[in-house]
Amino acid sequence: MDALDGNSIAGTLAAVFDTEMTTATGTCANCGSSGLVGEFAVYLRAPGIVARCRICNNVLMVFVDVRGMMCVDLAGLRDLRTAST
């Protein structure tokens, strides 16, 4: 399955973080590379939503809706910073 990108989960991210996240910068806990969330490789039917590092394919973020409760796993990120503007 072809990966989409972080743009496709802008709405989910905004609902979870309550702020604009596609311009946030995330650092991969595996390879240390940094990228904008909008550029993460995103799989919508994983099941749940999975965002992976474009460099090393490490799983960065997982979002699973369990009966209306959004479960969020960010263990694949060393760092996540929203844009300063």
Choice between 29 and 55, CB closer to another protein: 55
Residue 71: how many CB atoms within 10 A of its CB?
10
Contacts of 73 (CB under 8 A, 6+ apart): 61, 62, 63
Choice between 71 and 82, CB closer to another protein: 82
The minimum distance between CB 17 and another protein, in angstroms, equals 11
The minimum distance between CB 9 and another protein, in angstroms, equals 8
Q: Is 72 helix (H, G, I), strand (E, B) or coil?
A: strand
Applying CB under 8 A, the residues found at the interface with another protein are: 1-8, 10-11, 13-14, 20, 22-23, 36-39, 44-45, 83
